[in-house]
Amino acid sequence: MMRHLCGDDVWVKMMFNVALRVRRGGPRCVVGDVRNKSEARFLESMRGIGVRIERDRAMRLPSIERRTGGFDMEMEMDLDDYPFSHVIMNDGSKESLFEKVAIALY
């Protein structure tokens, strides 16, 4: 909705302002939700590391449908072909996922 009202890069501009404030306080900033290519490219331009958490497509699509009610499915899948630095399969426990992320980032 915000993108439709304020332009495609509204979240990029907001993320930029938050990232600048966070970076002044320390070396790392985690952005937990990136939904389109302009956001991913922005993070990379800030020397960020792109990590895609991937799930089996048969499990992923019903989850997206439930969460969005079918609204903006295209946006939810915009990054499916994006060349992330790391791709992690979310195919186990929450603890297993956290461990995989930690290994990718450190």
What are the tens digits of pLDDT across the range 59-79? 777 776 776 676 566 666 788
Give the pLDDT band (50/70/90) at residue 22.
confident
Contact by Cβ (8 Å): 88, 52:
yes
Q: Domain for residue 21, yes or no? A: no
Indicate whether 22 belongs to any domain: no
Buried b (16+ CB within 10 A) or exposed e, 57-77: eeeeeeeeeeeeeeeeeeebe
Domain membership of residue 93 (yes or no) is yes
Domain assignment present for 71: yes
The three-point CA angle 89-47-55 to 5° equals 15
Give domain status of residue 83, yes or no: yes
Tokens 């996922």 belong to residue: 97
Whether 41 maps to a domain, the answer reads no
**What's the structural domain count of the chain?**
1
Domain that holds residue 100: 49-106
Q: How confident is the model at residue 21 (pLDDT cuts 50, 70, 90)?
A: confident
Mean per-residue pLDDT over the chain, rounded: 79
In a domain, 30, yes or no: no
In a domain, 17, yes or no: no
Q: Which amino acid is at 39?
A: E
pTM of the model: 0.68
Integer angstrom CA distances of residue 84 from 1, 21, 47, 81? 26, 25, 13, 9
Alpha-carbon gap, residue 70 to 93, rounded angstroms: 27
